[in-house]
Each structure stands twice: as C-alpha cells, then as structure tokens.
Structure 1
C-alpha cells in the first residue's frame, strides 16, 4: 500500500515541477526580451549622445586671430525686431514712463530712438 501512495506523490511532484518549469521558461523569455530592448535603448542613447557631442563641437566658438592675437569668434546674433533694446529706441508700445517731455525723437541705425534727451530724466 505504501508503493501506490509514493508513486502518486512522485507523479504529483513531477506535475508541480513541470508547471514551475513552464513559468520559469516564460519568465526567462520575458527577461531576454527586456535585455534586447535595453540593448537597443543603449545603442540609441550612444548614437544620440555622439550626435549631440558633434553638434556642440560644431556650435562651439571657433578660435581665430585678430591683429595677431588669439580671439574667440562667435556667430552674429540677429535680435528680434519687436524686442526691447536700450540701445535701439523705446520699448514696444510707447515711450519711457517718467521721461521728460523735452525728449526729442532721433533716428539711429536701429530705428527711431527716444534715448536722446535734452534735459535728462524727469524726476
């Protein structure tokens, strides 16, 4: 009577182990798929990092010489036409608050300018 019970326990344990093996195989396949995704992500990251490094290197100011001296050349920046510049006239939409009425309008290379006051700031 002991033999049939022992065989039954062995058979039940084999079924448990088979089920566990299937779970592990499925989990192993998921882990391998994630490893593959990480490898792709790593390659993309390296490629983008190299592109950014190349762009930064090409955008860096270039060394040059002026009058025999080493200087750093920077690209010319074009300012926004509507933006305020203290060197090129009044702020958009009007004159300076508190400015004396004795200010006369003049023209600079940047356009009309209200920064040429006869009497300075009013106070």
Structure 2
C-alpha cells in the first residue's frame, strides 16, 4: 500500500527536479554558445596578430592603420645622417627640449635625450 502523502512528496520533488533540469539545460546551452563565440574571437585575434606581425616585418618598423592606410609610427633612419656635426646637432637638441619639458623625454646631464620608461 502506497501512502498518498509520500506519493505527493515524490511527485512534488520530481517536478522540482524537472524544473531544475530545465534551468541547467538552458544554462548549458548558453555556456556552450558563449564558448563557441570565444573560440571564434580567439581565431580572429590570432589571424589579426599574424597579419600585423607580417606587416611589421615587411615595413621594418611599427605600422598602424591611419585613415585605412598603413603608416609607420617611427620612420626608419636615413643613412648618412651625421649627428656628430655640431651645426646639425644643436637644432635637433633644441627641438627635443619641448618634449623633455612635457615629460615625454628625459634630458641627461651630458645633453643627450632618452625615452621615458
């Protein structure tokens, strides 16, 4: 003989567990969808990183996109620039004092400039 109260408790618990199962299945579907999106984002990031590395290797210096075109942040040095000649060096030093005053560069006691860390 089955006790009706026990049957009622079993039925209620089964309904509670069925509801919990539905919530967990829904959460699992959402988690799997987000994991798939992350995998796609990871692949896109990897491709972009490889593309940027290839562009930098071709350009020889750091390349960024400006108005849809590749531009170098720091141009390559021109060969034969003689910075030892005082007439060419002093105007260059004069131009570097503004960035040094703004804290972008560090002026050393010997008159040379270094990049701030």
Report the TM-score, using the length of structure 2 for normalisation. Answer: 0.51
Compare CA radii of gyration and give the structure with the larger one. 1
CA shift digits 1:5-50 (9 cap, x unpaired): 0000000000000000000000000000000000000000000000
Q: Give yes or no for the alignment of 1:15 onto 2:15.
A: yes
Aligned-residue RMSD, C-alpha: 2.9
Which residue number corresponds to residue 38 of structure 1?
Answer: 38
Who is 1:48 aligned against?
A: 48
User: What runs of 5+ residues in structure 2 fail to find an aligned partner?
Assistant: 62-74, 79-86, 88-117
Deviation beyond 6 Å, 4+ runs, structure 1: none
**Paired residue total:** 73
The structure, 1 or 2, with the larger RCO (C-alpha pairs under 8 Å, 6+ apart) is: 1
Q: SS of the residue aligned with 1:18? A: helix
User: In 2, Cα distance between the equivalents of 1:23 and 1:13?
Assistant: 15
The C-alpha deviation readout for 1:90-122, integer Å capped at 9, x for no partner, is xxxxxxxxxxxxxxxxxxxxxxxxxxxxxxxxx
TM superposition score normalised by structure 1: 0.49
- Structure with greater helix percent: 2
